[in-house]
Structure 1
Amino acid sequence: MSRARWHILSEPGRYTLARHLPPRFDVVAEAIFPPADPARLAQQIRQDLWRLLQRLRGFSPVVQVSATEGGLIVRAGGRSMVAQTYPKEIESQIQTLLQDPQHRLRWLAWAKTRRAA
């Protein structure tokens, strides 16, 4: 059994994790986060995004983390791999996930920036 591959696009100030290339946001929500490791944060959000929407036919998740002066902007969502559009409620579900205090606490604990001693 082969494992599905995830594509990582890392460029200065932006980290993107996508199931398929090119990354595309047919549905998307955004949230602001404090400074953290973008790769670790994206991975944690991707896991919970997938758990939330795995029953959505043809959904291919994308998480993009962009650096700002004060922290990070996370865009989470994905693309439709089938000829269908998703209801607007999907964006609201993703937004609710990104704003959930328990998820944010867990994600940030995992992704906190490690500083040299």
Structure 2
Amino acid sequence: MKEASTAPTPVVLGIDDLRPLPMATRIARTSREGIQLLEEHRDTFIDELWLDHDLGGDDTIMPVVTLMEEAAFDGRPFRIGAIFVHSANPTGAETVVRSLTRWNYRVRRATA
């Protein structure tokens, strides 16, 4: 007889307008939804956060990045194990990596 696992399910959040991100437990498709998603997890440890830079039309991930920067500036950074930037926009992705690295978030480029 197998015992049920008592380990908590990892929290893996994704903010991307198109990709399915099958490893994500929740996905936001716009920066507005992304901000709401992070706020809902404000006091929760987030194992992984997957970010796309371009979110369709004029929308980008930058409002989410600003929220994360302000949280760090206020001394309450989001508790995130690893942040992966998987954008096809190399300049935008590098901007996200630089911005979040500056605030001591663990972030790197990745492919999704």
TM-score, normalized by length of structure 2? 0.29
TM-score, normalized by length of structure 1? 0.28
Q: Which has the higher strand share?
A: 1
